[in-house]
Structure 1
Amino acid sequence: MAGDRSPYSCQQCYFMIHQSCIDLPEIINVNRHEHRLSRRLHLSLGSWVCRFCHKNVDWSYGAYSCSICPNYVIHSKCAIRSDVWDKLELKGIPEEPGDIEPFKVIDENLICHFSHKEHYLQFNEEGIISGGSIRCEACVLPIYSQAFYSCVQCNFILHKTRANLSRKKRHFFHNKPLTLICGDKIEHCEMCETYSQGFKYTDFKYCSIDVKCAMLSESIIHESHPCTLYYITNTYIKCASCNEGGCRSFSCDDCSFGLHERCAVLPKTIQHWYDEHLIFLCYNKNKRGGEYWCDICEEQIDTMIWFYTCDSCCVTFHTECVLGDFSRFMPGRIVTHRNWRIKAMQTSPGFLPRCYICHTQRAVPFVLNLCNPQNNVFICSLECLVRTRLGRTSFREVVYFILYRFVLNSYLRNNE
């Protein structure tokens, strides 16, 4: 490493170390790996690649490596980054016991899950089609035909993959260990920036991410791109899905392809009552020719961004029209948020309420019912939600603001 003109050196064996490197911790945890890493002055001969920056590691300069995973190494400078290391030296500190199992096995078909201890959950084989009418308590996504666990006495349901989630984990998005908690309230996911009522991984202080994002690893394979995508920060990349720029994304080392976190977790298939079939996320450039129109909002689709399509009916939809802002809320369940009682309600051709704020009847999959004692108020989007008292802005203030803007614009037009 260049730039340090006063290193420490041994005259007998020609060992040399920078002043800035002499205090490097010996044993650490990083958020990119599940095991502890130890600092090695030299690696064995061979070709090594850093698991953080994906650049070559010179074996003679050493690095941090894992004693359990022989191929895992990371540059010393990469390992002690503030967004990777939790700043704890673990030398002399006993290793914590293994992860607590998320459930106890009762028999070959029954488990007792930590999130639903009052009743047993029964295993249901993959292939049982639910039609999307039932939803997983953890990710709040429809079951469809995946294997799942269902309560033998109530409506509590978990995808099999969600039931097996670790109680604690380290995640590349945060440098502290995270704990899995049940979804008893509405929270904001720091990673994909959506609101969800499902299970969360949290440090109980600064970070909370939903299980959908928590299941992502630092490197992913996405159907839209042939190369492996790696999670990077502090590098501006335009997202291939939404065509917007950002400094956090999953990107390709060999080209300029990138995906925002929220776009990387868009469901590949989904249902909407506007079409009787499953609709698919379209990102194939070969299909992007001519003009496309959204059958829900009847506005044109920008073919530079991803959209949903039904191959059987040859119809297309905006992703925001298909998903809406409240699709991660458990429908029909009343929760308290900022002193309001809220209930997400699924729309249908026979139930399409008018939004209290924008006065439109949008065919979004869910609307939010603010259970006002005087009357039922329906909200169609987060944009409208922040304009209510729930968003700390009174309806009267919104009306005054709209009137002010109307008068101001009229005055400006008349004086041009």
Structure 2
Amino acid sequence: MAKDAPPFCKVFEGVVHYFLHDHHLRLEENILYDENKFCEACVMPIIEDEFYSCAECDFILHETCLKARPRIQHALHPHPLTLKATNNYVSSWCTACIRICGGFVYERPKHECYFKLDVSLTFCATLPYKVRYKNDEHFLTLSWGEERCEKYWCEECEDIVEELFYWCNDCCTILHTDCLLSESPYLKPGQVLKVGGKCIKFSPEVIFLGQFAVTV
């Protein structure tokens, strides 16, 4: 691609061609939450707002992720980084957040140095602002402990909650971020993690502790 080329081009109204996918993507509006729909780029579930999907396969992108620049210059690395799509076999970690990258990553096109940056970090989204929890019908939002005068306890571990936590204002449901989010939130069901010559296939139970859902 040219240095400043856009990540997609318009085919006609509501249909685009994305540079990391072979088929055209169509603009759709998410009406009902489907726990099996995941964005290929950030690996967060498709919960609300508009998204782009492929009619010929399961490729889906949030509108925000569709607009992520193909090439960036990041403060953590001296060389330009190129956006790359991953496949079902995952063996890389984000150099910045040290998390497994199951979605798109920015990396060096050559093997001169190892540097991979999770595409989510370019949106300042290390923790999702809004989530869903299996025992609450409402969204939970990310909150800070000092916002509450009283002490609260986590719904899962029943320990006291301090600093960052997820909170439902309607039901007073509260959870630690670690109790709600798994250690590998950026892997999709069916992806295979390759570690030390061994392969581990991830299922929804492995990836999502507590059956949560996330929106970006």
Letter in 1 for 2:141: F
The reply to whether residue 153 of structure 1 matches residue 56 of structure 2 is yes
In the TM superposition, what is the alpha-carbon distance from 1:335 to its structure 2 partner?
5.0
Are the aligned partners of 2:102 and 2:191 in contact in 1 as well (CA < 8 Å)?
no
Q: Note the residue ranges of structure 2 that are not aligned, 5 or more in a row.
A: 212-216
Map of 1:162 onto structure 2: 65
Which has the larger share of helix? 1
Matching of residues 59-208 of structure 1 within 5 Å: 98-117=3-22, 119-125=23-29, 128-184=31-87, 185-204=90-109, 205-208=113-116
Matched letter for residue 80 of structure 2: P
Aligned-partner Cα distance in 1 for 2:98–2:18: 28
Q: For residue 122 of structure 1, report the CA deviation from its aligned partner.
A: 0.8
Q: CA deviation at 1:290?
A: 3.1
State the distance in 2 between where 1:306 and 1:115 align: 35
1:201–1:214 contact (8 Å) kept in structure 2: no
- How much does 1:129 deviate? 4.1
Q: Determine helix, strand or coil for the equivalent of 1:106.
A: strand
The runs of at least 4 consecutive aligned structure 1 residues that moved more than 4 Å come to: none
Partner in structure 2 of residue 50 of structure 1: none
Instruction: Give the CA deviation at 1:131.
Output: 4.9
User: What secondary structure is seen at the aligned counterpart in 2 of 1:161?
Assistant: helix
CA-CA distance at 1:124 after TM superposition: 1.2
Deviation, structure 1 residue 173? 2.1
Q: 1:330 maps to what in 2?
A: 188
The residue type equivalent to 1:122 in the other structure is: R
| 1:153/1:339 CA distance change after superposition, 3 Å | same
Contact 1:121/1:150 (8 A) holds in 2: yes
Root-mean-square deviation (Å): 2.4
User: RCO greater where, 1 or 2, for CA within 8 Å and sep 6 or more?
Assistant: 2
CA distance in 2, matches of 1:121, 1:165: 15
Aligned match of 1:341 in 190, 199, 212? 199
Are 2:146 and 1:285 aligned?
A: yes
Answer yes or no: is the 8 Å Cα contact 2:140–2:168 preserved in 1: yes
Supply the distance in 2 between the matched residues of 1:211 and 1:274 (Cα, whole angstroms): 30
**Letter of the 1:106 counterpart:** V
Structure 2 partner of 1:296: 156
Structure 1: distance between partners of 2:78 and 2:130:
32
Change (3 A) 1:313 1:300: same
Once the two structures are TM-superposed, the CA of residue 101 in structure 1 deviates from its matched residue by 2.7
| Comparing 134-143 and 102-111, the one that deviates more | 102-111
Change (3 A) 1:299 1:139: same
Contact 1:128 1:147 in 2 (8 A): no
Aligned to 2:214: none
SS state of the match for residue 80, structure 2?
A: strand
**Mapping for residues 31-42 of structure 1, pairs under 5 Å:** none
Q: Percent identity?
A: 32
- Matches of 1:213 and 1:196 in 2, distance apart? 11
**Count of residue pairs brought into register by the alignment:** 205
Tell me, in whole angstroms, the C-alpha distance in 2 between the residues paired with 1:182 and 1:316: 35
Deviations along 1:376-406, one digit per CA (max 9) or x if unpaired, are xxxxxxxxxxxxxxxxxxxxxxxxxxxxxxx
1:364 aligns with 2:212: no
TM-score by length of structure 1 reads 0.45
Q: Structure 1 residue 340: deviation in Å?
A: 2.5
Structure 2 counterpart of 1:213, from 121, 124, 128: 121
